[in-house]
Amino acid sequence: MSAPNTSIKRIGLLTGGGDCPGLNAVIRAVTKTAIYRHGIEVVGILNGYEGLICNDVRELDASDASGILTRGGTILGTNNRCSPLRYPDGTNEDGSTRYIDATDRCLKTIEHHGLDAIIVIGGDGTMSCTAPLVQAGVPCVGVPKTIDNDIHGCELTFGFTTAMTTAAMSLDRLHSTADSHHRVMVCELMGRNAGWLTLSAGIASGSDIILIPEIPFDYDAIIAFLDERMASPAGFAIIACAEGAQEVGHGQTVSKVVDGSPDPIRLGGIGHLVADEIERRSRFETRTTVLGHVQRGGTPVAADRVLATRFGVAAIEHLLAGRHDRMVVWSGGTISDIGILEAAGNQRLVPLDHPLIDAARSVRTCFGDGG
Ligand code: F6P
């Protein structure tokens, strides 16, 4: 089938930001739909915006899209420390990194390869990087990805369900040691400033305490809860702690700052701090596990493959329908779209009246707030 009433004959496809299960499923859906249904050629841009800036691309044919549905990561490579508006290009006289606006380089690559539009798969940082392209008149369509499930306007991102499942299974496994040693086991989960991953995995694993960024915690409340829990017949406790969790009146715990990244702050370390403080204030032996990038790895679960496929197909249909500069989203049980720049720098946090919080409290989960 050839492209109907459209000037779009050849598109670029880019994955940006942290990898996430289901990226390859989107690449497959975009590529197969473009080629088989519309006769559109697809060019893969390698390693996120780096490929667009440095003219590093490869043609994708249908065989490239075969056999990748179940594979984690992205066959295109990705990058979460590269923005076209602030690209490192040599050093200044004082030895500091010199940054340039690399928009022209991106536009050159687009022109050189005859790309009529770009499909960008990424999180809010990656979407914000489309701004100079959108301003230059390049038709763009975004596809939201992240294990954090924190993209504005999108109720569910692919990758989240897989990460939640991995995290819940890991929390399940901590029960054996917690139970056998009568310990408190703290598990630090990803999620940046949003608690979706920790809240969902914590509920799924029956964690006793769930600490999320949206509900600052208080050590007195945690210890009071643990005193009761440790004295109960169970005699152990599991704490699911988001990397962005914070004590009342304190900031988040930063593990590093990645210069040049659209979102330079990397969170981490709070799990160890919580465990140390529990041991300091109580007689409970406490250990910490940091799940880290394990949560981003592995084959996507079936639900993420389905969502990723729907997003990929929708992205192509949006381009052909002239719905440019939009990002496809999952909202109200169906696919719709929002302005691609609306997603930029606009995170979706857990509302304090969310039914998941109420459900967790109903089964006596403690959020460290005494509630
Ligand atoms: O946004 C996905 C995510 O995994 C976050 O949950 C985490 O804070 C961050 O990326 C880690 O980034 P990096 O891969 O640069 O360590």
Q: Which domains are delineated in the chain?
A: 10-158+299-343 (3.40.50.450), 163-297+351-362 (3.40.50.460)
Between residues 138 and 1, which one has the greater pLDDT? 138
- Closest ligand 1 atom to residue 80 Cα is 15
Q: Which of 110, 117, 123, 15 is nearest to 71 (CA)?
A: 15
Q: What is the percentage of the chain residues whose pLDDT exceeds 90?
A: 92
Instruction: Lowest mean pLDDT of 4-18, 110-124, 182-196, name the range.
Output: 4-18
- pLDDT at position 249 over 80: yes
- pLDDT at position 3 over 50: no
pLDDT value, residue 5: 42
Overall average pLDDT of the 57-67 stretch: 97
pLDDT value, residue 6: 64
- Closest ligand 1 atom to residue 261 Cα is 15
Report d(CA 160, CA 46) in Å as an integer. 24
Sign of the alpha-carbon dihedral angle for 254, 256, 171, 277: negative
Report d(CA 100, CA 114) in Å as an integer. 24
Strand, helix or coil at 182?
coil
Q: Which of 148, 150, 304, 337 is catalytic?
A: 148
State whether the beta carbon of 147 lies less than 6 angstroms from ligand 1.
Answer: yes
Ligand 1 site-directed mutation target among 19, 157, 192, 243, most atoms within 8 Å of CB:
192
DSSP conformation class of 308: H
State whether the beta carbon of 18 lies less than 6 angstroms from ligand 1.
Answer: yes
Is there a catalytic annotation at residue 148? yes
**Which run of H or E residues covers position 335?**
strand 334-339
- pLDDT at position 283 over 60: yes
Distance 367 CA to ligand 1 centre (A): 23
Instruction: Lowest mean pLDDT of 4-13, 176-185, 329-338, name the range.
Output: 4-13
- Closest ligand 1 atom to residue 293 Cα is 4
- Closest ligand 1 atom to residue 147 Cα is 2
- pLDDT at position 134 over 60: yes
Ligand 1 site-directed mutation target among 19, 121, 148, most atoms within 8 Å of CB:
148
Q: How many CA atoms lie within 13 A of 330 on its CB side?
A: 20
- Average pLDDT of the chain? 95
Distance 364 CA to ligand 1 centre (A): 30
- Closest ligand 1 atom to residue 81 Cα is 15
- For ligand 1, atom 8, name the residue with the nearest CA: 192
Rounded to two decimals, what is the model's pTM?
0.95
Distance 189 CA to ligand 1 centre (A): 10
Instruction: Lowest mean pLDDT of 5-9, 159-163, 180-184, name the range.
Output: 5-9
Distance 82 CA to ligand 1 centre (A): 14
Strand, helix or coil at 330?
strand
Confidence of residue 1 (pLDDT cuts 50, 70, 90): very low
Q: What is the percentage of the chain residues whose pLDDT exceeds 70?
A: 98
Distance 87 CA to ligand 1 centre (A): 20
- pLDDT at position 216 over 70: yes
Look up tokens 């697809």; give the residue: 42
pLDDT value, residue 262: 79
Distance 18 CA to ligand 1 centre (A): 6
Q: What is the largest CA-CA distance in the chain?
A: 72
State whether the beta carbon of 145 lies less than 6 angstroms from ligand 1.
Answer: no
- pLDDT at position 165 over 60: yes
C-alpha torsion angle, residues 222, 228, 234, 235 (rounded to 10): 80
Backbone angles phi, psi at 295, to 5 degrees: -70, -20
